[in-house]
């Protein structure tokens, strides 16, 4: 499903070189729920952006569904981001002053799905995350947890191979975070592959497997024996 080998990312800022990732290799299989942990500056966000095809590695190989992502053209990358990857940001990144429906319909528009189908699908996915009564609310009229649920619906709407979440509960109150984790667990049970970044131990406990990063290297990669279930 996901296979990264010897992934390295070096940022060049003027004369200063910063190594964000060095020689990272791991595999994520279909249906897994993986949490990536690490202190800030450990390179976990950089790794996530490369996995999400939002950024390219300096060297190394990234294979997603059998395709070498680092060798794709820009348009092919756009298609990968559109159809194979569902990305959930810490800051939600919804379009401002735009309704929940329109936000969820956006990836479908870029996929060339007819408008009628887009409306139907967007409504279904928003209902699935419990926002059936907030369809025409604009982003600024929704709470943080609700905005993140719109973002989850948007990430899922094209049925991606993998769901990537970058600190999905980072900006959200604890009770709402529990709701988000419940959604992730349900998605995982339904067969979705999920990779999630977090620095909160409690949130990481919901995953089956936890990878620890430090200074751009994997220091630990363990099966989580005490996998927690969200209170629903």
Partner 1 sequence: MEYKEILSEAVGTLSVNKLRTGLAVLGIVIGIGSVIALVSLGQASQQMIQSQIESLGSNLLTVQPGAVTQGGVRGAAGGRTSLTLDDAKAIVSSSEITTVKNVSPEVERRTQITTGGNNTNTEIIGVTAAYTEVHKVTIASGNFITQRDVESMTKVAVLGPSVVSDLFGEGANPIGQTVRISGKTFDIVGVTTSKGGTGFMNQDDRIYVPLTTAQKQLFGMNYLSSIALEAVSPEVMTDAQNQVGYFLLARHNLSDPTKADFMIISQQDILNTASTATEIFTALLSGIAAISLLVGGIGIMNIMLVTVTERTREIGLRKALGAKKRVIIMQFLTESIILTFTGGVIGIILGIISSYLIAKSLNFSFVISLSSILLAFVVSAGIGIIFGWYPARKASNLQPIEALRYE
Binding site for partner 1 (CB under 8 A): 49, 52, 54-56, 74-75, 78-79, 81-83, 87, 89, 93, 95, 97-98, 102, 106-107, 109-112, 154
CB of 113: closest distance to partner 1 in angstroms?
A: 10
**How far, CA to CA in Å, does 49 sit from each of 57, 84, 97, 138?**
9, 14, 26, 27
Shorter beta-carbon distance to partner 1: residue 107 or 168: 107
Give the span between the Cα atoms of 214 and 44, in whole angstroms.
Answer: 9
Query: Residue-wise over 159-169: b if at least 16 C-beta within 10 A, else e?
Result: ebbbbbbbbbb
In the complex, least distance from residue 102 CB atom to partner 1, rounded to whole angstroms: 7
Q: Kindly tell me which of 38 and 86 has the beta carbon lying closer to partner 1.
A: 86
* Count of Cβ atoms closer than 10 Å to residue 47 Cβ: 28
Residue 93: CB minimum distance to partner 1, A? 5
Cβ 161 to partner 1 shortest distance, Å: 14
Closest CB to partner 1 among residues 103, 198: 103
Compare residues 31 and 41 and give the one whose CB is closer to partner 1. 41
Give CA–CA dist 74/56, Å, rounded: 11
Closer to partner 1 at the Cβ: 76 or 221? 76
Tell me the C-alpha to C-alpha distance, in Å, between residue 104 and each of 56, 115, 136, 154, 195. 26, 12, 11, 4, 21
């Amino acid at each position: 499903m996901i296979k990264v080998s010897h992934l390295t990312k070096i940022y060049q800022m003027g004369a200063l070189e910063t190594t964000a990732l060095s020689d990272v290799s791991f595999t994520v299989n279909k249906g897994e729920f993986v949490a990536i942990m690490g202190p800030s500056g450990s390179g976990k966000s950089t790794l996530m952006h490369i996995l999400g095809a939002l950024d390219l590695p300096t060297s190394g190989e990234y294979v997603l569904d059998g395709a070498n992502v680092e060798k794709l053209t820009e348009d092919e990358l756009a298609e990968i981001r559109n159809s194979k990857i569902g990305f959930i940001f810490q800051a939600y990144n919804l379009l401002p002053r735009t309704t929940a429906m329109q936000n969820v319909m956006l990836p479908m528009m870029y996929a060339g799905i007819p408008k009628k189908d887009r409306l139907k699908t967007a409504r279904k996915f928003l209902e699935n995350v419990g926002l059936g009564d907030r369809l025409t609310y604009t982003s600024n009229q929704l709470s943080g947890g609700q905005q993140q649920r719109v973002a989850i619906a948007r990430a899922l709407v094209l049925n991606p191979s993998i769901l990537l979440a970058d600190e999905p509960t980072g900006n959200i109150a604890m009770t709402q975070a529990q709701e988000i984790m419940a959604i992730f667990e349900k998605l995982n049970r339904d067969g979705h592959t999920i990779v999630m970044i977090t620095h909160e131990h409690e949130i990481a406990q919901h995953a089956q497997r936890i990878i620890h990063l430090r200074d751009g290297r994997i220091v630990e990669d363990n099966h989580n024996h005490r996998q927690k279930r969200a209170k629903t």
